[in-house]
Structure 1
């Protein structure tokens, strides 16, 4: 499939629709090109870092450290002598696989092997290795911005929030996203599909039809909404003095800690509001601005307005939920038990967002299909 992002001529446009030429392109529309190049650079850099740590270098990010600076990654704590050589080998393999994907090479079993490597790397780095840090940074981002520019509240420094063990997990997470994007682009490019929209010469599957996408999208929204309830209910119960899923001593500690229960209640309210917003993915007001948004009412909602934030939330919920499942304590199920459902929430939200995308995507500006 012709693709101007790869330096080729633009694909023929549909009748009556001008071709999408280079000057009109935006950087995010060239993701099939730059994601592959960045994944090669990321793999090279992380592989060299792994080699440095394997040779005894300082700063190994999964080493045991003080509790305030540790993470809940599946790799922490671990020995650099064991994990770092694997990281170095993975980086080397990633450079080779990434270069082959960028060039669009390989067929048959070699193509299958590249796809297996790419999907495995993307899923592991995005969902399995990280912890709840990205979700926490996303939720508390407004407060963090105030802190960065004003120093309020508290005497802590920015390093108490963004320490190396946590920064490393952010780097790993973005590496996983790059691998997922690169693998999708390679799979489409070598499979004869449009690298941007995924449509091929054959008729689309029935489940991608807008009417079908609306049906299964509604089920996904229902699952996502139900998965938010355990967290909301426990935090509200704690605020009103009911030790649901925790001991009375633990509740007393929270009551004695200033604003601890207030923060829990606020997070529960944010979660509830998020569950309400998810209905926009299958409702009319998710396509046309409703009357209560007075400055936009009646205008079409740009698909990216819903797809981008929903995708971000979905992708950071899953690793947080998987982390909670690893650290779950049956004796104190109210602490992490409800958070286990974040993985379900993220997956269901991702499915609902994809259904919304299928219904709103329209004709592809690159291949003219749709």
Structure 2
């Protein structure tokens, strides 16, 4: 069994395919006929990942002014970036339960493991996490103010690289570090050493930057005679980049439970989406709380990973089938989805526990897999 990594990033998913898209857009900068993502559009695109669920959809009560306030960006900047993303198809407006919500393009597609994919696209399930502390910090507002589109992409690249570093085994957070030559940074960002140092200073609320091989370079004697004021330059050979400690948290013993919980939460939201049940932020919080209280609490008492997984899959799918049947029979609007979800989950859990010794004690017993048709409906809808 592979050892768990000691730390993990405390943040939201950002998919590697979207990072690749941003890098391609950076290559188009300077081409007058090409569409490109400017700094404000990139910043808003990143910030929307703090607003969406596992299917890439905002809640029905999403408001741009509220999101702008949380992000630290000016409202005018957020509106500008948001409108650009809509006009160019990076986000789209969809209707769920007669309510309009916004959806990040391809988020649901990228947020599938190989087993969950229902198409032949075979898109790799690859993502990293954007730390929660980025939102509301000065990092994105300052990068937008300086129109630093390339800098935003480079920040994401470093977050991706540092996330991969966490798979190694070190004791301290700052030991998980990336090393970059300073001259290469000047080429990558296409700017002077002074502006590179300004960029590094800007991102310090999220990433720790350590200068290596720093020395002073004094002007040559003949140059001193030609200019009125001699300037001593500070030269840096390379830098080390590491996470701010606030970006990460220590993994706990229930990592597997949390992974399964996230998968079942995605399953639940997906099913409710196909049933045209519009969810407010409060409803999503209620669903998460109910699942923790009714299922996760029991799952943590099951020793076997396989039995625990079977338990979480079976009870979730039974509860969702019961909710679907209830909606089709009554045709009534659900005023309290949290209460209904609790009722159906509790019944499914009690049924599972009553038959556990007979049907679920054997880990080798086969059970049904997650219904991937749910994803087919939303991706083609």
Scaled by the length of structure 2, the TM-score of the pair is: 0.21
Is the radius of gyration larger for structure 1 or structure 2?
2
Would you tell me which structure has more strand in proportion to its own residues? Answer: 2
TM-score (norm 1): 0.22
More helix by share: 1
